[in-house]
Every structure is written in structure tokens, then in C-alpha cells.
Chain A
Amino acid sequence: MSASTGRARSWAARLHLPTLAALLVVLGAWAVLSWRYGAYVLPSPLAVVAGLGEIVRTGEVWTHTGASLYRILVGFGAAVALALAMGLAAFLSRLARGVVHDALAVLNSTSVFVWIVISIIWFGLSNWAPIFTTLMITLPVVASNIVEGVENVDRRLLEMGDVYRLSGHQKFAAIVVPSTLPYLVAGMKIGFGLALKVSVVAEIFGVTSGIGYIMNYSREILATQMVFVWALVMILVMMLVDKLVFDAVSRRLARWR
């Protein structure tokens, strides 16, 4: 009997049944509050579902999600490339390591708003403003992780490489890269989440596409239910990328453990 209840419990956990139950309670409360305060303040769950169905049908969901993802990929991609260069510099030179550390400390302490304002001044009302903001915000996150990874390479393994006269390139490929990879993936995972959140904020200013733009626009035309719909889209995109990309990569990296 205890075996069968144990199995039932594990099935329940796998289907996230407790979470679904909690969700039902929240949806119930949401419906009640919506009825009490009106659709402008809090649209009903049904209105949100209907809105989602509509933007999927019209294809609007792809236009704006695509526009946002494009900016994220360019800005975040540039951040990863720059972070890799910083990690390499930190690996090759002690001097560069100090400079990189200080630069990251400064970048880490800079607010999103600073970059939004500066990027509008520099790039005007264009695609480049959210791209640049995304770059500057995700760079320190990804780079800090890579530099930490580079610094945590096991010296004893590098010494083994020296004993067997591996070239610098061989040591880099066989020892440094594999031991830094988990740090890079962890940094990219956090960085991508941040990129989505930040680029959407930057889209409020000066562009005419993207999830951030359309959310703000929906607010202006008093279509509150669409604000909720686009928030939902954002959450779904984040969870999907996490599951499909980062979980798969992490699992592949952990193969030898």
C-alpha cells in the first residue's frame, strides 16, 4: 500500500499537481477580484485567454516576439562574444585580469536606466537602443561567470599538461575550455533571462515593435487585458528557452559526471 501511495505521489509531483492546484486557487481569486474591481484594473482570466488566442490567430504574437528576440539575440550575442574575449584576456595575462575585474565591478554597479537613457542619446529612437542596453546589462553577468571559470581551472591539471609538454593551445582546448564551459552556460542562462527582462523595458522608448512596445501601447489604449497577454507571452518564451536550450545543454555538459 505504501509503495502504491509513493508511486502516486511521484506521479503527482511529475505532473506538477500541487502547482496546478495552487494555480486554480489563484485563478479563482483573480476572477473574483476582476469581477469586484472591473476589467480596466484587472481583466478576467477568460479575457486574457481570449486575447492570447487572438494574437496567435492574427500572427501578431510572432511579429512582436520575433522583434524582441532579434534584439535580444544581437545584443546578448555581442555580450557573449565580448565576455569570451574578456575571459581569454584574463586567462592570458594577469594584468588584463585586474583590468577586467575592475571593469566588471563598474558595469555591475550601473543601473539599467543609465544605459537606456544613454542609448537613446547615442542611437536615437532605433533598434540599436534596446540592443545596446541589452548588451551593456548582460555583459557583466556573462563575463563575471567566464572569468570566474577561468580562474577556477584546476592548476594541478594544468601542471599535468606541463609535465607532458602539451602546447598552450592543447592545454587551452583540453583543460581550460572544458572546465570553463559550465560557468559559461550558467552565465548565459542568467544573462538570457536578464536580456529578455531588460530589452523589453528598453523597447518602451522609441521603437514600434517588440513585446515591450506593444505592452506599453496596450496600456495607452486602455486594453489592460493585452498587457496581461503579453506578460504571459514573455513568461512562456522564457520558460521555453530555459527548458529547450539551457536544460538540454546543461544535461549534455554533465554527461561525464
Chain B
Amino acid sequence: MKLLVAGVGKDYLIPVIDSVSFHAEAGEFVCLLGPNGCGKTTLLRIVGGLEPATRGAVLLDDQPVVAGDAHTRRVGVVFQEDRLLPWMTLEQNVALVLRPLGLPAADRRAVARRHLRLAGLAGFEDYHPGRVSGGMRQRAAIARALAIEPDVLLMDEPFGALDAQNRRIMQNEVRRIWQETGRTILFVTHSIEEAVAVGTVLVMLSARPSRVRALIRNDVRAARAALIEDLNTMIMEEVERQQGGASA
């Protein structure tokens, strides 16, 4: 989905976001950077429709995002905390969010298990969140967000709780999924290295009340992603042609 953030601002008791504008084509990986407390989480929540903006508008595929309104978009959110239901197993947690998609129970189970496996949690499906480490909980939350095959994926410092090794694994996983599926991702991170490594668009916010300090197109990354997508499409076409030829 195409993302347009147009003059978005937010005041609580104090003005937090002055005015922020940027846009991203479908399939772009937007990294949001900025000092602590400048309103990154707030902006993410506005894009996700969890918080109304004081000024400006957010459009997803030209449809305005209105906080609290019913919609049909698939939005996956990885919050700073895992927000898993403690009384459900990891598998039940992931399967739960597949219910509104109308999948039958057996499919929900299968999809949940597949995404838990991708997140490196094979064997832990029947554990409750209280019985696994914080990093594993966060990975389960990521698996949950990916399981709905979101049109837009919003991630708020999702790897903050992970150790270096798991951070690398999950970075690769998110990057791989992004490349394979062409999802639009809005990703808040502290790490400039991480942003440069994965982002196609980098949005650097200023101190509060925040504006866009710098908007950088990380074109090498974008070009490479487009190239990978083209090659993927080509190979899929050829595979189909070959299979079609074999069966004829």
C-alpha cells in the first residue's frame, strides 16, 4: 500500500509533532529515526489509526486513516511491548488474529505454526508467554504481525529487546519477507546502522515539536529490492512455463 503522511501534527498537553510530511510507494521500507521522545511512537500510532492526528492526514492507497473507524486494511503492528495474551499459548496468540480473516480453525493453526517457525520458535508453540524469554515473546509478536500478511506493517523498535544474534536473524527475516511480498513497512528504530541497512526511505525527525529533519532515499537499497523483485517475477514465470510445458 502507498503511504502518504501529509502535514501530520499532534498536540498533547504540549505540542509533540509539529508537522511531518513524507510519502512512500507501495513496497517501500520506511525507517523512522529521531531522538527519544520526539514522537516516533505517536506518529506510528497515528498511521495505524490508533490515535487521531491534531493536524494533517494520513492516506493509505488514497484512503484516509481515521482513528477508531472500521476498515478493511490489514495492518500488522509490532508494539514496543509484546502485547501477547498471557493466558494463551504462543500458537493460540498468533491464531487469534487470524480469526477476523475468516480462516477455518485448522488453517489458523497451520499458518500460526508456520510463522512461529519462521520466527525461530518451532517447538515453543504450546508455551505460554510467561514461560519464554522476552526476546522470544517479541519474536512471537512479530510472527503474529506477519501471520495476517499485512498490507502495512508498523514496527516500533521491534528488536530492542533482542540480543545481537537474534536481532540479526529477525532483521534478515523481516527483510526477506519484505522482499518476497512487497509489503509497505514503517519501522521505528534507534539504530542508524539498522536503518541504513534495511530502509529504502529514511525519515529523520527533529527534536520535539518534531518536523522532518532529513528525508533520505536509500536508492541503492531500493534499486536492489526492485531488481530482486523483477528477478523473482521472472523466475516465477519461467517456473510456471516449465511446469506447463512438462504437463503438456
A257 touches B99 (CB 8 A): no
Nearest Cβ distance between residue A42 and chain B, in whole angstroms?
51
Contact of A164 among B81, B97, B128 (CB under 8 A): B97
Q: How far is the CA of A166 from the CA of B70 in the complex (A)?
A: 11
Nearest Cβ distance between residue A117 and chain B, in whole angstroms?
44
B50 touches A163 (CB 8 A): yes
A256 touches B50 (CB 8 A): no
Nearest Cβ distance between residue A26 and chain B, in whole angstroms?
43
**Which of the listed residues B70, B71, B87 has the most CB atoms from chain A within 10 Å of its own CB?**
B87
User: For chains A and B in complex, what number of residue pairs have CB atoms within 8 angstroms?
Assistant: 46
Does B85 lie at the interface of the complex (its beta carbon under 8 Å from any beta carbon of A)? yes
Count class of interface residues, chain A: 10 to 19
B79 touches A160 (CB 8 A): yes
B100 touches A160 (CB 8 A): no
B81 touches A156 (CB 8 A): yes
Q: How far is the CA of A224 from the CA of B81 in the complex (A)?
A: 63
Does B64 lie at the interface of the complex (its beta carbon under 8 Å from any beta carbon of A)? no
Specify the chain A residue showing the minimal Cβ separation from B98. Answer: A164
Does A22 lie at the interface of the complex (its beta carbon under 8 Å from any beta carbon of B)? no
Query: Would you give the 0/1 interface string for B90-105, flagging 1 where the beta carbon is closer than 8 Å to chain A?
Result: 0000001101100000
B100 touches A164 (CB 8 A): yes
Nearest Cβ distance between residue B150 and chain A, in whole angstroms?
10
Nearest Cβ distance between residue A153 and chain B, in whole angstroms?
11
Does B88 lie at the interface of the complex (its beta carbon under 8 Å from any beta carbon of A)? yes
Nearest Cβ distance between residue B93 and chain A, in whole angstroms?
9
Q: In the assembled complex, which residues on chain B have CB atoms less than 8 Å from the CB atom of A167? A: 100
Contact of B85 among A162, A163, A174 (CB under 8 A): A174
Specify the chain B residue showing the minimal Cβ separation from A154. Answer: B83
Does B86 lie at the interface of the complex (its beta carbon under 8 Å from any beta carbon of A)? yes
Question: Could you list 5 further interchain pairs (A-B, Cβ under 8 angstroms) beyond the known A178-B85, A179-B87?
Answer: A156-B83, A163-B77, A164-B100, A256-B87, A256-B128
26 example contacts (A-B, Cβ-Cβ < 8 A) are as follows A156-B79, A156-B81, A156-B83, A160-B77, A160-B83, A162-B50, A163-B50, A163-B75, A164-B96, A164-B97, A164-B144, A165-B71, A165-B100, A166-B97, A166-B99, A166-B100, A167-B100, A170-B99, A170-B100, A174-B88, A175-B85, A178-B87, A179-B87, A256-B86, A256-B87, A256-B130
